[in-house]
Chain A
Amino acid sequence: MREINVALLGSCLGSALIYLYTKQAIRAKNAAIRLHYTYCNSLIFLMPASVGQFVIYESDRLILKKPQVLGKSAFARQLRPIKDETFIPLPEDANNDWIYCWNALLQPFLSTMHKLPPNYHDIFQLNEPVKETTGFSENLIRDHFNYFYKPQLDILKAMKKFGRHVVVLEPNRPNPFPCEAAFYHKVTRIEQEVIQNELKQMDIPFIDLPQEMVDENGFNKEAYRMVKDEPDYAHANALGCQTIGQRLIDFLEEHFYFDGEDGPLSYRSAMKG
């Protein structure tokens, strides 16, 4: 049985947890999957302008450069020290059996909204809450996301162009930011719609928490890390990551297969939604 090489491209602690739980799920199911993990915290706050600084794609490889903002988690560092540059093999220097799982594509509206430095903790120091009535129409928020995600989606497109299979994992929701709940839910809903629509057009599978785990606003309190007795809605906890890991393995087993003993890795399109 040939193994599929799965590269998990992570951006935050959630990715580390997903790595661990996915690994467990692989072992438990004895699945023919070899899991690789690259921690790259720079992607947490990928903004259109900063993409060029952190991610460079050349003709034969994608390079994730050492991020300026490093993960503070000792756990993450222990798991995989951050290197100066991480090379993601593309067709010319890799076997054709790689699947790239891009975790945490959804990124906070807040970081762009408030021109924050890319430091997660600063988010909680904002004083001025954003109100539903601040004056942004749904169209404007949608166009903002369309524009904002373009560089990240271009990277995914580049990966596909290089013949790579790409899967996007998203256990998280955008980081919470000081705003009225109605506005937060509106922004979150639009963001989900935009990103899922784009991925659908690119035929890239999107794996998030199962519908039964989320409420009408797309949240499940039990799946997120608690901060001051409130779910932070940004970081999936062990339950959330375990669920994602399990779903990822199930999905890979169901939809990816080798076309003959020496044939290439193929993907049965089964788009979400």
Chain B
Amino acid sequence: MKHPYKSQGLTAFWDSAISAVNSLELSGLYERKFDIIGCKLAAAGSCFAQHIGQALKKQGLEFLDLEPAPSFLAKELHKPYNYGLYSARYGNIYTSRQLLQLFDRAFNQFVPKDNIWRRGQGFVDPFRPNIEPDPFVNAEELVELRRLHLEKVQELMRQCQIFIFTLGLTETWFSTDDGAAYPVVPGTSLGGDFDSARYRFHNLSYVEIVADLELFRQKLQQINPDCRILLTVSPVPLAATALPRHVLVSTIYSKSVLRAAAGWLAQEYDDVDYFPSYEIIASHPTRGMFFMPDGRSVSKAGVEHVMGHFFKAHGLKPDDGHQPESQPQQNLEEYEQDPVCEELALAAFNALKEENKL
């Protein structure tokens, strides 16, 4: 009887797939489950997802943007106002719970009680506190603009054919009132006031993440039966952990849980795929070469490398001429270099930083 490993290809063996290959020339890391060419793509997730969205746009694929920048607005103002980063202006969605609740909020299935935070004299949307550089001048404006935004999210969920979601964090903060999940703890420079009676920390488990994403998939299918989901895991480490342990330990735990959850979902459902951006950037064969000196930010070369694998699996070469003429290009470089990231607000609480020693 033939041994099962006998029929395995070269990429199944570490020595031929990794040891004998330059780490920039690894191949066969991803095989697509479904085509993306010709499909309406939507992207959301943690800040690394901004890179994915920009790369898809640059490639000229049909990347949905339901809240484009107004035509009059100078290009320099697009990014500070979170235009063009994702398929709608929801900002970063770090956790599975946030994604699920975004869907529910868009379809009026969930109205969080604590839904306006103060920042200085102004007001911010707790679910996208960094959506504009300055707080809204009044609460009415915030509420009205959020209503319009959620209408667009609803439209997006109905229109997209592939929803790409990048899982970023397991550590999250909830409202003790109704379980509303926030992208960042209240009380940072982004707004809100921390109150341990009103907000609680929670580290989402594998079981919870799988349940969140299964429920999201189920709800999405109800309104958009043909939509498929492409999951990735952000290789960007945690900016800070709320647990009493080293941030590296928390990072590896979080990423492992997210990776396992995404893998299980992709294994379980034909309409869910997993793209290993996390492995390509963060695994040890690449020896951290795709990280910037801070060991956290992913370099432009890293993003290009990851997306090169992705596009190759879809029969595309990066920038191979799918670029439509109407696609604005001039500012993509800027987007690629420096993603908008609420999580970084946590770094300000570092004691060394507070003492100006960092």
Contacts and interface: CB of A to CB of B under 8 A. Distances in A.
Interface of A: 48, 109, 112-115, 133-140, 143-144, 147-148
Nearest to A114: B71
B148 interface: yes
Interface of B: 67, 70-74, 76-77, 80-81, 132-134, 136-137, 141, 144-145, 148-149
A115 B71 contact: yes
Contacts of A144: 72-74, 77
B135 to A, nearest CB: 8
B134 A133 contact: no
B72 A135 contact: no
A165 B344 CA distance: 47
5 contacts: A115-B71, A135-B148, A139-B133, A143-B80, A147-B77
Contacts of A109: 72
A137 B71 CA distance: 15
Contacts of B77: 140, 143-144, 147
A161 B80 CA distance: 32
Q: State the main secondary structure of chain A at its contact with B.
A: helix
Contacts, number: 50
Given A114-B71, A115-B72, 19 more contacts: A109-B72, A112-B72, A113-B70, A113-B72, A133-B148, A134-B70, A135-B70, A137-B132, A137-B145, A138-B137, A139-B133, A139-B136, A139-B137, A140-B77, A143-B133, A144-B74, A147-B74, A147-B76, A148-B74
B136 A137 contact: yes
Contacts of A140: 70, 73, 77, 81, 132
A139 B132 contact: yes
Contact of A138 (B133, B141, B148): B141
In the A-B complex, the 3 residue pairs with the closest CB atoms: A112-B72, A113-B72, A147-B74
Contacts of B149: 135
Nearest to A144: B73
A113 B70 CA distance: 7
A134 B130 CA distance: 20
A114 B149 CA distance: 21
Contacts of A137: 132, 136-137, 141, 145
Contacts of A138: 136-137, 141
A135 B148 CA distance: 7
Contacts of A112: 72
Contacts of B132: 137, 139-140
